[in-house]
Chains A and B, each alone.
Chain A
Amino acid sequence: MRIAAPSTSPEVKSKKRYLLVDLLIRLVREKPLGTVGGVIVLVLFFTGIFADFLAPYGMNEANLDTIMVLPSAQHWLGTDNLGRDMLSRIIYGARISMYVGLAGAALDVVVATLIGAISGFIGGKFDLIVQRFVDAWMCFPPLFIMLSIMALLGPGLLSVILVLGMLAGIGASRVVRSAVISIKSNAYVEAAEAIGCTKRQMLVRHILPNITAPIIIIFTVAMGGMILYEATLSFLGFGIPPPEPSWGGMLSGPGRYQMYSAPWMVIWPGFALAIVVYGINMFGDAARDILDPRLRGGLGRYAGAKRKKPKITEK
């Protein structure tokens, strides 16, 4: 098996890099809105990573002299009911959204790939049983089951990521499963079996590399939803506990009673949330169109159509 070794030669590497650059060029040329979305995502990551340097004040730096001041030169977005700088809290909130978005979507992808790939690859009765389980999970209204499990786990960043990632992963496993099933029937998989590949080799070397596109799509599409759900959970008081500056949590709690006298306290967090989720959705749509032209179309059409496909009798 010496012949396989040159696969890491510089030639192939440069070709791979070329592919990535090519995708980027296509994104900028064909999808102006997707590019804007991508820039918004980059800004979110930049803000999240460098929050300590960007924020003019500490995230919980309360100052009783500056309670609920209007937006001004010292406090660009005003201050909240404890005199904390809103801009700084929004900037630190970006970090939480980034954590939840990235870690939640990563867990989502891992769970979806594990369930979907194994269920689709093995097929038969095993697949049937696993799919009924997925069916059953999909029946639960997401917010209900999230809140219920969060109540058992207790609030916190880790449990938010666990709950969001696991639940989304179970749903997304269908997309992976249908991709695996369609790839399984290709001639090269049969050829791999014919030359004596083990099941594991077939799955890891021949099938998994070919479902990268749907996996990247699941990741980008999931991120926006994760951030929105985290904000909703925190808003209801079951997500990230205060005083951590989660964008959703900033709209709830004691600050809520003061919102009539200091409306800027409720504008900015929601504004930040809407822009970020909009950006991620636009970027995700563009990534989907570029990576997998078959999926072009309505939101969730691919997943939706696969979920309940009626039998059409042939005449």
Chain B
Amino acid sequence: MAIPTVLLVTIIVFFFLRLVPGDVIDLMVLEHETVEDAEVLRAQIAEKLGLNDPVHVQYVNWVGGIFRGDLGRSLWTDRPVTQEIINRLPISFELGFLALLTALIIALPIGIYSAIRQDTYGDYVARSFAIASIALPSFWLATIVMVFPSIWWGWSPPMQLITFTEDPWGNLRMFIIPSFIMGMVLSGTTMRMTRTMMLEVLRQDYIRTAWSKGLRERTIVLRHALKNALIPVVTIIGLQMPIIIGGSVVLERIFNLPGIGWLLIDVINSRDYTVLSSVNLVMALFVLMINLLVDLAYSYLDPRVQYR
């Protein structure tokens, strides 16, 4: 089922973003050149985008390029788009990975606690935190983190990119705040899901059997209940992948991390439609791949699930 979806993804990108209407080019030209040069530039851009070919030829050429790993060249800087994206991927990956890790570190223990101590005050506090974290806008949290420590203690997060190979500790210090904010916003959904599934599993017969065997609570919760409760939680993590990638736009912008999200805003501002369509395409294919991996993780977590 993945292959038709890949084709449809390319079609969507092509028709919505790549197949730029002529008047958009006029707008680009007007923004950048004087009237005399405009005609020449317009022809150049049309040539570069292959706009003079029929639509289906354009599409086939473009998709053919994708399968060879060639996403074309930037309209303005003429640098290969593939290289541009590869350069920025590690930054976004690091941010997303740390955010996911933070989300799980917050969500799983609290979710489990809140399920095994259902309807206690601890449970209420945890649930209120989960719902509040879903409502908090990440750009606001990030702004608050930028403003208040700097007013109170004269401290502000590092704004110059430090690569991991240069200084691993400095690099981590730079990523920890944005990924913590993103992780906090993500953790709410995962926490609620963990709690609901744990509650469901803890009422099953085999858990009662485990209790009557005289097992310790910790063994029952961690070894018997958790693995089964985690199956739907894995889906939620898969479903959150697009949100993580999207969230990177906001946090990379605020914390000055030159990742994919930063690139997106850059190319939107410069109306670089070749890069814009490629960034969307690459991210959509990435999400598709993660969804496939999540499906595969099912059969590990739940041996009853088999793929025919």
Contact A300 B12 (CB under 8 A): no
Among the listed stretches B3-11, B50-58, B170-178, which one makes contact with chain A, having 4 or more residues with CB under 8 Å of it?
B3-11
Encoded as 1 (CB less than 8 Å from any B CB) or 0, chain A from 262 to 305 comes to 01001101100111011001100100000000000111110011
A282 vs B229: C-alpha distance when bound (angstroms): 24
Encoded as 1 (CB less than 8 Å from any B CB) or 0, chain A from 127 to 168 comes to 000001101111111111101110110000000000000000
Supposing A304-B236, A311-B308 touch, asked if A274 and B280 sit within 8 A by C-beta, the answer is no
Encoded as 1 (CB less than 8 Å from any A CB) or 0, chain B from 219 to 237 comes to 0000000000000100110
Residues of A within 8 A of B189 (CB): 298-300
Residue total for B at the interface (Cβ-Cβ under 8 A)? 70
Which of A144, A151, A270, A300 lies in contact with B283, CB distance below 8 A? A144
Contact B235 A270 (CB under 8 A): no
Residue of chain B at shortest CB distance from A278: B135
Whether B161 is near chain A, meaning CB under 8 Å from some CB there, is: no
Task: Give the Cβ gap from B138 to chain A, nearest Cβ, in Å.
Answer: 8
Residue of chain B at shortest CB distance from A313: B306
Supposing A281-B135, A299-B193, A307-B239 touch, asked if A141 and B307 sit within 8 A by C-beta, the answer is no
A274 vs B250: C-alpha distance when bound (angstroms): 17
Q: Tell me the chain B residues, 63-89 only, with Cβ under 8 Å from chain A.
A: none
Determine which residue in A136, A260, A273 has the highest number of CB atoms from chain B within 10 A of its CB, and name it. Answer: A136
Residues of B within 8 A of A138 (CB): 242
Task: Give the Cβ gap from B308 to chain A, nearest Cβ, in Å.
Answer: 6
Residues of A within 8 A of B299 (CB): 310
Contact B150 A260 (CB under 8 A): yes
Q: How many residue pairs, one in A and one in B, have C-beta atoms under 8 Å apart?
A: 183
Contact B143 A313 (CB under 8 A): no
Residues of A within 8 A of B132 (CB): 274, 278
Supposing A259-B147, A301-B232 touch, asked if A140 and B284 sit within 8 A by C-beta, the answer is yes
Contact A270 B284 (CB under 8 A): no
Contact A132 B4 (CB under 8 A): yes
Task: Give the Cβ gap from B164 to chain A, nearest Cβ, in Å.
Answer: 24
Supposing A148-B268, A270-B144 touch, asked if A313 and B242 sit within 8 A by C-beta, the answer is no
Contact B131 A282 (CB under 8 A): yes
Whether A238 is near chain B, meaning CB under 8 Å from some CB there, is: yes
Among the listed stretches B37-45, B98-106, B208-216, B286-294, which one makes contact with chain A, having 4 or more residues with CB under 8 Å of it?
B286-294
Task: Give the Cβ gap from B159 to chain A, nearest Cβ, in Å.
Answer: 14
Contact A136 B12 (CB under 8 A): yes
Residue of chain A at shortest CB distance from B253: A236
Supposing A301-B193, A305-B232 touch, asked if A147 and B135 sit within 8 A by C-beta, the answer is no
Whether A104 is near chain B, meaning CB under 8 Å from some CB there, is: no
Task: Give the Cβ gap from A128 to chain B, nearest Cβ, in Å.
Answer: 9
Supposing A147-B264, A301-B232 touch, asked if A140 and B5 sit within 8 A by C-beta, the answer is no
Contact A259 B143 (CB under 8 A): yes
Whether B35 is near chain A, meaning CB under 8 Å from some CB there, is: no
Which of A140, A266, A305 lies in contact with B147, CB distance below 8 A? A266
Residue of chain A at shortest CB distance from B250: A232
Contact B306 A135 (CB under 8 A): no
Residue of chain A at shortest CB distance from B127: A33
Whether A228 is near chain B, meaning CB under 8 Å from some CB there, is: yes
Contact B139 A248 (CB under 8 A): yes
Determine which residue in A139, A144, A273, A300 has the highest number of CB atoms from chain B within 10 A of its CB, and name it. Answer: A139
A114 vs B142: C-alpha distance when bound (angstroms): 38
Residues of A within 8 A of B279 (CB): 144
Task: Give the Cβ gap from B39 to chain A, nearest Cβ, in Å.
Answer: 23
Whether B246 is near chain A, meaning CB under 8 Å from some CB there, is: yes
Task: Give the Cβ gap from A293 to chain B, nearest Cβ, in Å.
Answer: 14
Contact A311 B140 (CB under 8 A): no
Residues of A within 8 A of B271 (CB): 151
Residue of chain B at shortest CB distance from A133: B8
Whether A235 is near chain B, meaning CB under 8 Å from some CB there, is: yes
Q: Tell me the chain B residues, 1-49 only, with Cβ under 8 Å from chain A.
A: 1, 4-5, 8-9, 11-12, 16-17, 20, 24
Whether A251 is near chain B, meaning CB under 8 Å from some CB there, is: yes
Contact A274 B298 (CB under 8 A): no
Residue of chain B at shortest CB distance from A307: B239
Additional pairs, 9, CB under 8 Å, beyond known A136-B284, A238-B268: A138-B242, A140-B242, A140-B283, A144-B249, A228-B135, A273-B137, A298-B232, A300-B239, A312-B304
By a beta-carbon cutoff of 8 Å, the part of chain B in contact with chain A is 1, 4-5, 8-9, 11-12, 16-17, 20, 24, 131-132, 134-137, 139-141, 143-144, 146-148, 150-151, 188-189, 192-193, 195-197, 232, 235-236, 238-239, 241-243, 245-247, 249-250, 253, 264-265, 268, 271, 276, 279-280, 283-285, 287-288, 291, 294-295, 298-299, 304-308
Task: Across the A-B interface, give the 6 residue pairs with the lowest CB-CB distance, nearest first.
Answer: A270-B140, A143-B246, A136-B8, A278-B135, A277-B135, A141-B245
Question: Can you list 7 A-B pairs, Cβ within 8 angstroms, ordered by A?
Answer: A140-B287, A235-B250, A266-B140, A281-B135, A299-B189, A307-B239, A310-B298
